[in-house]
Amino acid sequence: MTIWRLPAQVPPSQHFLKYSLFYGLPGERLVLYDNERGKGDHRHYGLREEKYHFVSVERLMSDFKSDVEKVRGEPI
């Protein structure tokens, strides 16, 4: 997990954070939350990729943890 504050927004995100939260196995991405220029905030869950509505770092961490627990089938 990496979250850092930037001096400028990463369009189209409306906040000043850049983040990448990854959970997976060697060579296999299972859950990824990130934002990048042009795509903005989004998440990868299995083979799906969908927009993510960023609210706060606390909510981001909670949503990521919840998805990881679903993939693992147990609490972390």
34-53 residue pLDDT tens: 999 999 999 999 999 999 99
- Read off the pLDDT of residues 12-42 as tens digits, 9 standing for 90 and up: 999 999 999 999 999 999 999 999 999 999 9
CA dist., res. 24 & res. 22, Å (int): 7
> What pTM, to 2 d.p., does this model score?
0.91
- DSSP string covering 15-31: SSEEEEEEEEETTEEEE
